[in-house]
Structure 1
Amino acid sequence: MPVVVKKRLLDLIQDDHQNYYELVSFFLDGNIANIEKEKKSINLLKKELEQVCLDDVDFPDQIGDIKHWYLEENKKTGNAYQDYISRRQLSGQREYFKNIGQAFEFLIKVSPIKKVDGSWLYSIVNYWNDPAFHDLILIYLEELGLGSAKSNHVCIYDDLLRVLGLDDFELFLDDEYYHHAAIQLALGYAPPDFIPEIVGFNFGYEKLPLHLLITNGFVA
């Protein structure tokens, strides 16, 4: 390996990475060993978890209550969507994007997250021989498109940005827009100690969101 490349890798590994963009670049660098990424993920996740406030978290205390809670939350989202549709049918204003410029801005600002979609489940494939993780692995494979680039979620978003001529604008984003992307990648390289956090993140991320129903209905 050339000396210049070795120095760059050493700098990346030893760097404190004070911003999220650098962390995202670190995790996505294929030349850096996974063990180094695991160390970085532990440090980042510990810092992030220290800032989490659970006082206002609406989540069941008992495992047996989770399914009912989940179904009720989806029902609330469905009702909120129907309310939104009713307002729009009564000549209500768009509530998400007032014009196409705002929609394009949104697509650019969420692109760092969309470009690492599913990454939080990366480490779960290490437990392929444990049936308890098969559903999570299937979710991860679906994120990857089940072997088809046309169905790969990241490729789909990249294609969307390219078609709209928005594929270079993410380079001008403030660092805050790389925050969640860094967390997702950190979860993807986290050791087994963080499996509960990975499962919890997946549970929350995959829960039916109102904005998905609205934007898929083209009535944003």
Structure 2
Amino acid sequence: MAEKLNVELREDFGKGASRRLRAQSRVPAVLYGHGEDPIHLSLPGHETALAARNPNALLELELAGGEKHLALIKEIQRHPLKRSLNHLDLITVRKGEKVEVEIPVVLIGEPVAPSAAFVDLQTLTLSVDALNVPEQVEVSVEGAEDGYQLFAGDVTLPGDSELVTDAEILVVSVALPRVEEEPAEGEAAEGETAEGESTEESAEEE
């Protein structure tokens, strides 16, 4: 279901105009797509921030005159410290249209102990229905043992999604946790003695 946002056309541009908008708790944005001229918009800050928590959220943008656009978030620019929204790039989508999106990989289940599961590829690029973008790709590691590997081409995709990512790329692996070995007490003592002797020898030579 689309997130509905009441938006306004933006007539002032530049860094100063953008700062003034953000001071009013609004977010500057640009809507692209289908060969049309870009539309510069002002979005409500709080509602947009909530919608942007899902980077692939479908947005229904409604202008004051009743004109509506369906859009997906293409790129989010955030404040480097506050992490608040600085600017959004949006793309227009239509019913029946396919779009390529990055979908996060999420593990479910537990491997056989003491093995641990590792996500080697955080997202998969999928071609999906623009109006039905999945939030995540679930990969089960229930009962998987050390040495288990799952490649992109073997992942079960949601709905009628199509894989764009290279099918040979490793997505998930299961392995025993690495344990760093500490040097034995005897070895440490020998090393210290050898170091001490070499120091004394140097002193004698001087």
Q: Give your verdict on TM over 0.5.
A: no
Question: Which structure dedicates a bigger proportion of its chain to helix?
Answer: 1
The TM-score normalised by the length of structure 1 is 0.20
Structure with the higher fraction of residues in strand conformation: 2
Q: Name which one, 1 or 2, has greater alpha-carbon Rg.
A: 2
